[in-house]
C-alpha cells in the first residue's frame, strides 16, 4: 500500500492538552496542522483559507458546538471532510454527526493509531471527491466582494464609495445598521481594501459573552491569573495586532469593559489578565451596532469618550427595504449559489415571485432574503420559481409599516387632559383636591374626566 499523501488539517478543541496531542500525532505523519481552542476563530480562519479536513470537538461550551461548526465550514468549503471528536461518546450523537455528513466520529481519549487511520481515510475520500469536481466549483463563498455589498442602488453605491475612500486610511470606523444588513462584511471589505489586508481580521461579538468572558477573550490571561487559567492565553487584541479588530454589537459591551477598551485605544497597549508587562498593539478597530449609540452615550448607557474614539467615521448601512431595486439581483445571486450547492434545478425567478419578494418588508434584511432563497432552492419544483415555491406568508399576508403619528401639535383639549392627569397624580387621585387646584367644582371635574376618558 502506498504512503498516504499529507493534508492540510484544522483541529478545534477547547481542551488545550488534547489539542496539542493531536497536533503532535498529525504533524509526525507529515500533515500541515492549524489548531484552535475557539471554534469562532477557527471559522474565521476557514473563511480565509481552505483546508482538507476539519477535526472538531463535539462539545465546546460556551461556543458553537462541533455540528454547527461543521455546517458553517461546509457553507464555505462544501468538500471539506469532517471528523468529530467527543468526550461524551454516545451512540445518538455519533449517529447524528454521521447523518449530518461527518466522515466519522472519534471518542476521547483519542488513540493515535485510530486517529491516523481515520485521517488518512478522510483525506483519501476528499481527494476522490475533488477529482470529480469541476475547477472553480470548490469555493462557494463569494470572495472579497461580498453579496451583502452587491447592489446597484444609489444607497449601496454610496456605501461602496465610502468603503473605498476610508479603507486605506487607518481611522476607526463605526458601522451602523440593522441586523442582517451586512455590518461584518463591510468591516471585512474595509480590511481587504486597506494596507492591513495581509494582517489578521479578527471578529468578536460583544453581545454574546459575559463580562468575564469578554475580558478573557479580548485581553487573554497569564498562567494562573485565576482558577482554571492553566496556561498563558493570547487575547483577540493581540491576535488582531497588525490587522483589523471588528467589534460587533459594541453597544452591548458592559461599562467596565468600555473603560478598558478606551484605555487600549488611547495607549495602544494592553495588559493580559493577571499580567504586569504592557504589550504594544497596532490595530484598527471597526465597531458595529444596531442600536442608537449616540442616544445611549447621551443617556449615560455608553461612554461618550469611547463613542467619540470609535466614531471617527460613521458608515450607515441601509435596510434592504430601503434599496428594493437590489432585491432581484441579490435573490438571483443567492438562488444560483444555493442551487449549485444543493444540486437543484431552479434557474431563475418568475415575475410574480420576484414581485412578491420586492413587495416584502424584510425585517431580517439581506440575511432573511438569503435564508428565503436557500429554502426556496431546496423546495422548488421547477426551473422557474413561482409564488408557490416561496414561504406561504409572502403570498398570504400583506405587510405594511405601521403608520407613524403625524407631527403632534397638542390641542387645548390635549393640554387640559394632561394637566388634569398631572394634578390627579399629584393629589394621589383625590378629585376634591384636584378640583380645588383647578378652581372648578367637583361636578365639572367629573364631566371633564368623563369626556377625556379618565374616569
Name the 3-class secondary structure at 119.
Answer: helix
| Cβ 287 vs Cβ 310: under 8 Å | yes
Q: Which is nearer to other proteins, 147 or 243 (CB)?
A: 147
Residue 267 burial (10 A CB sphere; 0-12, 13-18, 19+): exposed
Binding residue for other proteins, selected from 109, 135, 143, 401, defined by CB under 8 A? 401
407 contacts other proteins (rule: CB under 8 A) = yes
In the region spanning residues 421 to 440, those forming contacts with other proteins, defined by CB under 8 A, are 424-425, 429, 431
1 contacts other proteins (rule: CB under 8 A) = no
| Cβ 362 vs Cβ 370: under 8 Å | no
What track of x and - describes contact with other proteins for positions 278 through 297 (by CB under 8 A)? ------------xxx-----
Which three cell numbers mark 386?
A: 413561482
What track of x and - describes contact with other proteins for positions 324 through 343 (by CB under 8 A)? --------------------
What track of x and - describes contact with other proteins for positions 151 through 180 (by CB under 8 A)? ---------------------------xxx
Q: Which residue has the cell 475520500?
A: 125
The β-bridge partners of 55 are 11, 83
Q: Which is nearer to other proteins, 134 or 408 (CB)?
A: 408
Which three cell numbers mark 342?
A: 444543493
352 contacts other proteins (rule: CB under 8 A) = yes
In the region spanning residues 64 to 103, those forming contacts with other proteins, defined by CB under 8 A, are none
Binding residue for other proteins, selected from 89, 141, 301, 454, defined by CB under 8 A? 454
DSSP-derived pairing of the beta strands 284-289 and 173-176 = parallel
114 contacts other proteins (rule: CB under 8 A) = no
Q: Which is nearer to other proteins, 92 or 453 (CB)?
A: 453
Binding residue for other proteins, selected from 16, 195, 359, 441, defined by CB under 8 A? 359
Spatial distance between the Cα atoms of 321 and 324, rounded to a whole number of angstroms: 5
Which three cell numbers mark 138?
A: 470548490
Binding residue for other proteins, selected from 410, 422, 441, 451, defined by CB under 8 A? 410
Binding residue for other proteins, selected from 62, 397, 439, 443, defined by CB under 8 A? 397
DSSP-derived pairing of the beta strands 384-385 and 348-349 = parallel
Cβ 428 to other proteins shortest distance, Å: 9
Radius of gyration from C-alpha coordinates of the chain: 28
On the CB side of 312, CA atoms within 13 Å amount to 14
414 contacts other proteins (rule: CB under 8 A) = yes
316 contacts other proteins (rule: CB under 8 A) = no
Phi, psi (degrees; rounded to nearest 5) at 384: -115, 130
Q: Which is nearer to other proteins, 110 or 369 (CB)?
A: 369
| Cβ 159 vs Cβ 149: under 8 Å | yes
| HEC assignment per residue over 133-178 | CCCCCCCCCCCCCCHHHCCCCHHHHHHHHHHHHHCCCCCCEEEECC
Residues forming the site for other proteins (CB under 8 A): 178-180, 205, 207, 290-292, 319, 321, 352, 355-356, 359, 361, 363-364, 367-368, 371-372, 375, 391-393, 395-411, 414, 417, 424-425, 429, 431, 453-455
Amino acid at each position: 500500500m502506498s504512503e498516504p499523501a499529507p493534508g492540510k488539517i484544522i483541529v478545534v478543541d477547547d481542551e488545550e492538552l488534547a489539542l496539542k496531542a493531536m497536533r503532535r500525532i498529525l504533524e509526525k505523519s507529515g500533515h500541515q496542522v492549524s489548531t484552535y481552542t475557539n471554534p469562532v476563530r477557527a471559522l474565521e480562519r476557514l473563511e480565509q483559507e481552505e483546508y482538507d479536513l476539519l477535526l472538531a470537538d463535539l462539545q465546546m461550551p460556551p461556543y458553537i458546538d462541533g455540528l454547527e461548526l461543521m455546517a458553517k465550514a461546509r457553507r464555505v468549503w462544501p468538500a471539506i471532510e469532517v471528523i468529530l471528536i467527543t468526550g461524551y461518546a454516545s451512540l445518538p450523537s455519533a449517529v447524528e454527526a454521521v447523518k449530518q455528513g461527518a466522515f466519522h466520529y472519534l471518542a476521547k481519549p483519542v488513540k493515535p493509531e485510530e486517529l491516523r487511520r481515520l485521517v488518512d481515510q478522510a483525506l483519501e475520500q476528499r481527494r476522490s471527491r475533488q477529482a470529480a469536481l469541476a475547477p472553480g466549483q470548490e469555493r462557494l463563498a463569494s470572495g472579497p466582494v461580498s453579496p451583502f455589498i452587491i447592489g446597484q442602488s444609489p444607497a449601496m453605491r454610496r456605501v461602496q464609495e465610502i468603503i473605498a475612500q476610508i479603507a486605506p486610511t487607518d481611522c476607526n470606523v463605526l458601522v451602523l445598521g440593522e441586523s442582517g444588513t451586512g455590518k461584518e462584511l463591510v468591516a471585512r471589505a474595509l480590511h481587504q481594501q486597506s494596507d492591513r489586508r495581509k494582517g489578521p481580521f479578527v471578529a468578536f461579538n460583544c453581545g454574546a459573552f459575559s463580562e468575564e468572558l469578554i475580558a478573557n477573550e479580548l485581553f487573554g490571561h497569564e498562567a494562573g491569573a485565576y482558577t482554571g487559567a492553566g496556561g498563558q492565553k493570547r487575547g483577540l487584541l493581540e491576535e488582531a495586532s497588525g490587522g483589523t479588530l471588528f467589534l460587533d454589537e459594541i453597544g452591548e459591551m458592559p461599562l467596565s469593559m468600555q473603560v478598558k477598551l478606551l484605555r487600549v485605544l488611547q495607549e495602544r497597549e494592553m495588559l493580559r489578565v493577571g499580567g504586569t508587562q504592557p504589550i504594544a498593539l497596532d490595530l484598527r478597530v471597526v465597531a458595529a451596532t444596531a442600536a442608537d449609540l449616540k442616544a445611549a452615550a447621551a443617556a449615560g448607557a455608553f461612554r461618550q469618550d469611547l463613542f467619540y474614539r470609535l466614531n471617527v467615521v460613521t458608515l450607515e448601512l441601509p435596510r434592504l427595504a430601503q434599496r428594493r431595486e437590489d432585491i432581484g439581483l441579490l435573490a438571483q445571486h443567492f438562488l444560483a449559489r444555493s442551487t449549485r450547492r444543493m444540486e437543484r434545478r431552479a434557474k431563475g425567478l418568475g415575475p410574480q415571485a420576484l414581485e412578491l419578494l420586492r413587495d416584502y418588508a424584510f425585517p431580517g434584511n439581506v440575511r432573511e432574503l438569503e435564508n428565503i432563497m436557500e429554502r426556496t432552492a431546496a423546495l422548488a419544483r421547477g426551473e422557474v420559481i413561482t409564488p408557490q415555491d416561496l414561504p406561504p406568508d409572502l403570498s398570504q399576508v400583506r405587510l405594511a409599516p405601521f403608520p407613524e403619528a403625524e407631527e403632534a401639535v397638542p390641542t387645548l383639549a390635549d393640554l387640559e387632559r394632561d394637566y388634569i392627569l398631572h394634578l390627579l397624580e399629584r393629589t394621589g387621585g383625590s378629585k376634591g383636591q384636584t378640583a380645588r387646584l383647578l378652581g372648578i367644582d367637583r361636578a365639572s371635574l367629573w364631566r371633564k374626566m368623563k369626556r377625556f376618558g379618565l374616569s
